A and B are shown apart, each in its own frame.
Chain A
Amino acid sequence: MDLAAVIVVETVYAVASLILISAGLAIVFGMMKVINLAHGEFMMMGGYATITAVNLGINIYIAMLVIAPIVVGLIGLLVERLVIRHLYGRLVDTMLATWGLSLFFVGIVTMIFGNTTTGISTPIPGISIGDYQINGYNFFIVIISILLVLLIYFVLKGTRLGLIARGTMQRSDMAAALGYSPDRIYMATFFVGSALSGLAGAVLAPLVGLVPSSGGAYIAKAFITVISGGPSVIAGLISSGGFFGVVNQFFTFAISPVVGEVALLVSAVILLRLLPQGVTGRFLKGKL
């Protein structure tokens, strides 16, 4: 019984963290049809921003939830102005350029912080379920993910900004026709997407030993979650995050964590073969 509870908690956590690490990429992809392969490095920098801020004596929650998103958002803004905006409509070129950026950021962070593992301790103590110990921080991540999804939903559904955003997602020329500059919409989108990547990296930082190359661990998962999710941001994130999270945890508990990871990747290949347009390209069409 205790084990079952642990498995449930771990699975919910796996799904939540997949959604968390993919949200920034999903927004940028959904709105701009841009795949940002430096997404993992944006997360890594969010982690470093948090650790630096904490070391400077700032409250950890403020560091994670405010400072990291702003810092990474601004970096994203710079990247958008300098590189991405010259490549709109050239999907493959953007992927290549952002791959270059990811290498660049790894190098820069290595030069600044050194190639050593840093980290901060989790601010929430562990919880026992029977004989099992669960990291209390996992609950925090689940809550953050839920809040994040709700936030994206209400912004897209309820605000004027969201309306423009949804219009742009459907047809990029619509925004221009309505008198909004697509250039500025894209700029804002990339800022928000980067900030969310920074937030995700910051929130996950206490759980991992951070090294400059940490981003590599996230990008593949985020990439396949977003692509498998398909065109709809929220429905796509929840469905593919849910699917991969469950697959991953099932094989983790049944066999081993490595098999869990491999199973996730294999299931992604099979899923894309069966549903080349992603889950929401086939089902849940037209949802947010």
Chain B
Amino acid sequence: MREITLQRFAIALVIAGIVMTLLPLMVGTYTLTLLLVYGMLAMSLGLIWGFGGILCFGQAAFFGLGAYAYAIAAINFGESTVPMIIAVLVPAAFAAVLGGMMFYGRLGDVYLGVITLVVTLIFFKFMNSTAGPEYVIGTARLGGFNGIPGYQTLNVPGLPEQYIYGDSLYYVTFIALFVVYWLVNWVLQSPFGRVAVAIRENEQRASLMGYDIRARKTVLFAVGGAIAGLAGAFYANWAEIVTPGLFSLGQSAEIIIWCIVGGLGTRLGPILGAAGLAYLKFKLGQQMLIDNAVITGIILVLFVLFLPKGLVPAIEKIWRLSVGRKRGRRPARSRRGRAASHG
């Protein structure tokens, strides 16, 4: 594990600064902001799945929950700072409860998949059915399938009249992604992160070492929920409307695809996978010849079959071979969770 040094951080800061300024020259900031939001969302699953071995089929639930929590809080408070915090805390708390229930119940991979998927569906069905006036939280109506529009969007803390939108929203989102990325790096480098990897590698060995895997997985799951929630809050600010579609299975599927394509067990892979695929989808959406789903579907199948470790490790490998550096860490095998043969 490479150390986070001041030097490395400084280099990353410079690179990020350059990328942040150059990107808007190629793609509009409106599209870019969405790509960044998806990058953050992918990072949340990349963390718990790639480094904790927890495959969540319903990461969209935390994303949607964050977006809804933000919208509802923003209507009630009329400013954005507290709602942003709430949008992180609510999904994190929910993930902690759900994760605790699953991990303390010692559920296998498949059952974890079913439960997370079903929970997402519950949100989807429930939110769709909240059109009536009786579904109100504070002064915010849930609005059923029409969703919630017209809430206060991001403003400068303490100044509710000073909106952050357009280009500024892009810069704020970029900085937020950068900060979260380094926080995730820091977590992975800490003993907590290293134990998480130990649990991914071999749960029994980790518990024979004396680690309480249930508690640790629950905490990691909650951290993932918090990041997905933050991504949801930024999404809500970008879209200016939240709808039950955020909880759809298609959304959950996409997050998983981003992680696989980018590369599991890498830190940058999921972010790049998300941004790349979302951009591809955006471009494809402009042509009518081939349906979008066909391409997404084929990409997922091909990657599972031929490049299950994703692009970033593959590129790293090619890079290493061409540069001729022999030593280096090889990404672990069977990162994708062990088959629950006991299931």
Q: From A112, which residue of chain B is reached at the shortest CB distance?
A: B291
B residues 78-123 touching A (CB-CB < 8 Å): 101-102, 105-111, 113-115, 117-119, 121-122
Q: From A266, which residue of chain B is reached at the shortest CB distance?
A: B122
Do A273 and B343 contact each other (CB < 8 Å), given the known contacts A100-B299, A105-B297?
Answer: no
Q: At the interface, yes or no: A81 with Cβ under 8 Å from chain B?
A: no
Q: At the interface, yes or no: A220 with Cβ under 8 Å from chain B?
A: yes
Nearest Cβ on chain B to A151's Cβ, whole angstroms: 27
> Is B296 a contact partner of A258 (Cβ separation < 8 A)?
no
Chain B window 324-343, contacts with chain A (Cβ cutoff 8 Å), 1 for yes, 0 for no: 00000000000011011101
Contact of A261 among B107, B114, B125 (CB under 8 A): B125
Please, which residues of chain A bring their CB within 8 A of the CB of B114?
223-224, 227, 268, 272
> Is A107 a contact partner of B109 (Cβ separation < 8 A)?
no
Do A96 and B260 contact each other (CB < 8 Å), given the known contacts A101-B301, A223-B117, A227-B114?
Answer: yes
> Is A93 a contact partner of B308 (Cβ separation < 8 A)?
yes
> Is A269 a contact partner of B115 (Cβ separation < 8 A)?
yes
Chain A window 241-277, contacts with chain B (Cβ cutoff 8 Å), 1 for yes, 0 for no: 0000000000000001010011001101100110011
Q: At the interface, yes or no: B293 with Cβ under 8 Å from chain A?
A: yes
Q: At the interface, yes or no: B206 with Cβ under 8 Å from chain A?
A: no
Q: At the interface, yes or no: B290 with Cβ under 8 Å from chain A?
A: yes
Q: From B108, which residue of chain A is reached at the shortest CB distance?
A: A276
> Is A96 a contact partner of B101 (Cβ separation < 8 A)?
no
Please, which residues of chain A bring their CB within 8 A of the CB of B129?
256, 258
Nearest Cβ on chain B to A221's Cβ, whole angstroms: 9
> Is B125 a contact partner of A262 (Cβ separation < 8 A)?
yes
Q: Residues of B within 8 Å of A, CB-based: how many?
A: 49
Q: Main SS of the interface on chain A? A: helix
Q: At the interface, yes or no: B249 with Cβ under 8 Å from chain A?
A: yes
**In the bound complex, how far is the Cα of B337 from the Cα of A96, in angstroms?**
12
Please, which residues of chain A bring their CB within 8 A of the CB of B339?
33, 89-92
Contact of A272 among B111, B292, B336, B340 (CB under 8 A): B111
Do A220 and B117 contact each other (CB < 8 Å), given the known contacts A100-B299, A102-B297?
Answer: yes
**In the bound complex, how far is the Cα of B339 from the Cα of A111, in angstroms?**
35
Please, which residues of chain A bring their CB within 8 A of the CB of B296?
100, 103, 107
Q: At the interface, yes or no: B126 with Cβ under 8 Å from chain A?
A: yes
Do A92 and B305 contact each other (CB < 8 Å), given the known contacts A258-B125, A258-B129, A269-B119?
Answer: no
Please, which residues of chain A bring their CB within 8 A of the CB of B250?
103, 216
**In the bound complex, how far is the Cα of B176 from the Cα of A181, in angstroms?**
55
Please, which residues of chain A bring their CB within 8 A of the CB of B126?
258, 262
Please, which residues of chain B bring their CB within 8 A of the CB of A101?
297, 301
Q: Residues of A within 8 Å of B, CB-based: how many?
A: 42
> Is B291 a contact partner of A99 (Cβ separation < 8 A)?
no
Contact of B110 among A91, A100, A106, A261 (CB under 8 A): A91
Q: From A219, which residue of chain B is reached at the shortest CB distance?
A: B249
Nearest Cβ on chain A to B252's Cβ, whole angstroms: 9
**In the bound complex, how far is the Cα of B108 from the Cα of A47, in angstroms?**
34
Q: At the interface, yes or no: B18 with Cβ under 8 Å from chain A?
A: no
Please, which residues of chain A bring their CB within 8 A of the CB of B187?
none
> Is B343 a contact partner of A83 (Cβ separation < 8 A)?
no
**In the bound complex, how far is the Cα of B295 from the Cα of A189, in angstroms?**
28
Known: A87-B305, A99-B256, A258-B126. 15 other contacts (CB 8 A): A91-B339, A93-B336, A95-B113, A96-B336, A100-B300, A100-B304, A103-B296, A104-B297, A107-B294, A107-B295, A220-B249, A258-B125, A258-B128, A272-B111, A272-B114
- 20 CB < 8 A contacts A-B: A83-B305, A91-B339, A92-B109, A96-B304, A96-B336, A100-B257, A103-B294, A103-B300, A104-B293, A220-B117, A223-B117, A224-B118, A262-B126, A265-B119, A265-B121, A273-B107, A273-B115, A276-B106, A276-B108, A277-B343
Query: Which residues of B are at the interface with A, using a C-beta cutoff of 8 A?
Result: 55, 101-102, 105-111, 113-115, 117-119, 121-122, 125-126, 128-129, 249-250, 253, 256-257, 260, 290-301, 304-305, 308, 336-337, 339-341, 343
Give me the 7 closest cross-chain CB pairs, A-B, nearest first. A100-B300, A104-B297, A107-B294, A107-B293, A103-B297, A107-B291, A91-B339
